[in-house]
Amino acid sequence: MANTNVKEYNPQVSNAKSRLTWLWSEYSVIIAFIIIFIASSIMNPRFLDINNQLNILMQVSIIGIVALGMTVVMLSGGIDLSVGSVLALVGVMTVLALNASGSILIGIFTALVVGSFAGFLNGLMVAKGRIASFIATLGMMAAARSIALYIAEGGSVSGEVKGFTAIANNDLWIFDYPVIIFFAMTALVYILMHKTRFGRYVYALGSNEKAAMLSAIRVDRIKIAVYSLAGLLVSVAAIIETSRLNSISSSSSGVQYELDAIAAVIIGGTRMTGGRGKIIGTLFGVLILGILNNMMNLMNVSPYLQGFVKGLIIIIAVVFQKRE
């Protein structure tokens, strides 16, 4: 007598499940963004106001640029805890260069050099010093903040070149310059990571460093380039933040930016272990964080609880990643 309890294999059902699994794996962050956007629209009618939407984009632009660099670092299998402190140091040095020279171009050049050099030092410690990225960038975090505090004597420094504020306070049509810069940086990093040999090498390094070395990839050079790029992007974010008020605080600027950047990257689907993730995912991760922050403000949630929400989101995102 045949066993009637045995289920027959249905290839159509199996293929449908596979497609759904693939769809969730590839586009989960976009699906989550749509759900959160719709839920926010229902919970508070003010959320859909065009000025509020533009305000969200403006608020996430600086963290978004930092998160792009963090994405590249995490794709390589590392992490950068120094981004907030480096941003403060870059801002201080930028203002000093502006005041000394009176030239906006020299101020911007100084910012790009300082940030890139800090990233280069991180890469050098990780690649040549064989120091774990967590430890190397933790040391840079303390050092950069300390130097910024020393130079600014623990306070803020203000610029004397009024034209510098135009970078963060002007707009094109309805979009502020920082938003345009953020999307431009996203496009450039996307092309770099998904359309060039460098991007393929970064993914290979994050997936399996030993295999990358056996494939004749200059692993040390890639690591140094990755952290230097992250430092360069921090410089761009620092220029915008400094330009916004034509000043920078050595003690409070950039505080907890590393937490926000890491949260955005993980929400966007990039693995902590490296080798898997997308720049577009980080873009939507940043937007999700922006919407959540905005909704908590609209609903008068205590600012002291917002860090708890971000931490909870990171944990949930990592749990979902492990189940994929």
Which one, of 205, 207, 245, lies nearest residue 227 by Cα?
A: 205
Is the per-residue pLDDT at 215 higher than 50?
A: yes
Residue 42 lies in a domain: no
Model confidence at 19, pLDDT cuts 50, 70, 90, reads confident
Residue 289 lies in a domain: no
Residue count of the chain, please give it.
324
AA identity, residue 246: N
AA identity, residue 14: S
What average pLDDT score do residues 148-160 get? 94
Per-residue DSSP letters for 218-256? -HHHHHHHHHHHHHHHHHHHHHHHHHHHTEEETTTTTTT
Model confidence at 318, pLDDT cuts 50, 70, 90, reads confident
Residue 215 lies in a domain: yes
Residue 199 lies in a domain: yes
d(CA 254, CA 142) in angstroms, rounded, equals 13
Number of domains in the chain: 1
Do the bridges between strand 247-249 and strand 171-172 make them parallel or antiparallel, or are there none, so unpaired? unpaired
Residue 96 lies in a domain: yes
d(CA 261, CA 60) in angstroms, rounded, equals 10
pTM: 0.91
Residue 201 lies in a domain: yes
Residue 142 lies in a domain: yes
Residue 304 has what pLDDT?
82
Is the per-residue pLDDT at 161 higher than 80?
A: yes
The range of the structural domain enclosing residue 172 comes to: 65-255+270-278
AA identity, residue 281: G
23-27, 177-181, 304-308 — most confident range: 177-181
The alpha-helical segments, DSSP class H, found in the chain are 11-43, 50-75, 83-101, 104-127, 133-151, 166-169, 177-195, 197-207, 209-214, 219-245, 257-267, 279-298, 306-323
Mean pLDDT score of the chain, rounded to an integer? Answer: 90
DSSP state at residue 196? S
Model confidence at 1, pLDDT cuts 50, 70, 90, reads very low
d(CA 25, CA 29) in angstroms, rounded, equals 9
d(CA 36, CA 292) in angstroms, rounded, equals 8
* CB contact at 8 A, 42 and 191: no
Is the per-residue pLDDT at 14 higher than 90?
A: no
Q: Give residue-wise pLDDT tens across range 216-270.
A: 999 999 999 999 999 999 999 999 999 998 999 999 999 999 999 999 999 998 9
Q: Write the CA distances from 247 to 41, 90, 109, 177, integer angstroms.
A: 35, 12, 17, 18
Is the per-residue pLDDT at 144 higher than 90?
A: yes
Model confidence at 116, pLDDT cuts 50, 70, 90, reads very high
